[in-house]
Chain A
Amino acid sequence: MNDADRRRFEFLLRLADSDLVLAQRLGEWVGHGPVLEEDIALTNVGLDLLGQARLWFAYAGEVEARFADRGRTEDELAFLRDGGEFRNLLLAEQPNGSYADTMARQFLFDVWHGLVLGSLILSGDERIAEIAAKARKEATYHVERSADWVIRLGDGTEESHARMQSAIDDLWMYTGEMFEPDATDRALAGEGIGCDLAALAAPWRETVEAVLREATLAVPKTSAVQRGGRRGVHTEHLGHMLATMQWLQRAYPGAQW
């Protein structure tokens, strides 16, 4: 069962890394939010995602112990892997930009995230199903909030509309890979443990388009897709982000609170 365990480990890292990387991005807003209330609200979302990442990492470590000498701890997985070993979506690592950029990124991710978790609730792996059930409650609130902001800014002033439109346009090419399963995804879906990513494309598009319409925003026409997150091929932004995120564990190995 070595191969199956390796695949499951890989799959769990993908889930964990997107949560972790996006949580770190949201953490960069702490103290810089446009208003106090937003600062707190956005940080809450970041902490939700970090909590989810920890659950996935903890389980990934247990699965790793089945085929390796030992399973890595949450901290080792988060702070001692290099960029090429990260499996997060490219979308998650994109810089915060303006509040419109951050909210557009959040919205495009949240809709996908909710669909993935909704489908993983039915996973044949009980542990995955349990984590997904817990995480989905949070994700449901996340998408409500981010969709709200896309609509408010899109259907707001001339400037907020223009900024939200350009945010959606710029990020659109990073959404394609969310629905492109590779061999690992297909194998896990076949085992009844993962989910059918390609099947999530239609419901994702439906929700996203409905919100963009309400926000008076245009759906980007481009079909260009940037891919590679799942293979560890990232945009230039991830390395810089990891340098900030990981420096403490790198400079003081094993440091604890």
Chain B
Amino acid sequence: MSRNEWPLWEIFIRSQHGLAHKHVGSLHAPDAEMAVKNARDVYTRRNEGVSIWVVKSEDITATAPGDKTPLFDPAASKVYRHPTFFPMPEGVKHL
């Protein structure tokens, strides 16, 4: 059976001003405008957001699971890249 499914959209929500948009999930919609409306109803029912981004899933280029080793393993042994040696001023959030 051939069925025309609506395209998939990835949804990003900014939970408060000053924070970055965060991926919360995906949904189907015929176009961007409807994707925003659906996102509002599916993902912000409990006061989760102040702003919504929608991106067509097919427009996202992702890393391949098979490339995991060359891409990410080399970072594992470089402890000096972590800023854990700096004292953090108290009260600074979201750094």
Verify if A246 is at the interface (C-beta below 8 Å from B). Answer: no
- Mask of B1-44 contacts with A, CB within 8 angstroms, 1/0: 00000100000000000000000000111100110011001100
Bound Cα distance A148, B28 (Å): 17
A140-154 CB contacts (< 8 Å) to partner B: 144-145, 148, 152
Within the complex, what minimum Cβ distance (angstroms) separates A138 from chain B?
12
Binds B, one of A34-42, A103-111, A236-244: A34-42
Of A35, A40, A148, the contact of B6 (CB 8 Å cutoff): A35
Bound Cα distance A41, B41 (Å): 5
Question: Are B41 and A44 in contact, CB atoms less than 8 angstroms apart?
Answer: yes
Contacts of B30 in A (CB 8 A): 152
Question: Are B38 and A37 in contact, CB atoms less than 8 angstroms apart?
Answer: yes
Within the complex, what minimum Cβ distance (angstroms) separates B22 from chain A?
20
Verify if B45 is at the interface (C-beta below 8 Å from A). Answer: yes
Count of chain A residues near B, Cβ 8 A: 11
Question: Are B41 and A148 in contact, CB atoms less than 8 angstroms apart?
Answer: no
Within the complex, what minimum Cβ distance (angstroms) separates B64 from chain A?
29
Q: Which bracket fits the contact residues of B?
A: 10 to 19
Question: Are A148 and B34 in contact, CB atoms less than 8 angstroms apart?
Answer: yes
Within the complex, what minimum Cβ distance (angstroms) separates A45 from chain B?
9
Contacts of A41 in B (CB 8 A): 37-38, 41-42
Contacts of B29 in A (CB 8 A): 37
Question: Are B45 and A37 in contact, CB atoms less than 8 angstroms apart?
Answer: no
Bound Cα distance A236, B16 (Å): 49
Closest chain A residue to B35, Cβ basis? A37
Contacts of B45 in A (CB 8 A): 40, 44
Within the complex, what minimum Cβ distance (angstroms) separates A48 from chain B?
11
Bound Cα distance A81, B62 (Å): 59
Contacts of B6 in A (CB 8 A): 35
Within the complex, what minimum Cβ distance (angstroms) separates B92 from chain A?
36
Closest chain B residue to A156, Cβ basis? B30
Contacts of B34 in A (CB 8 A): 148
Closest chain A residue to B41, Cβ basis? A41
Bound Cα distance A40, B37 (Å): 11
Most buried by A among B29, B30, B33, B41: B41
| 5 cross-chain CB contacts under 8 A | A35-B6, A37-B27, A37-B28, A37-B41, A44-B41
Given contacts A36-B28, A37-B42, A148-B34, 5 further A-B contacts (CB under 8 A): A35-B28, A36-B27, A40-B41, A40-B45, A44-B45
Residues on B facing A (Cβ under 8 Å)? 6, 27-30, 33-34, 37-38, 41-42, 45
Of all A-B residue pairs in the complex, the 9 with the closest CB atoms, nearest first, are A41-B41, A37-B38, A44-B41, A37-B27, A40-B41, A40-B42, A37-B42, A37-B28, A41-B38
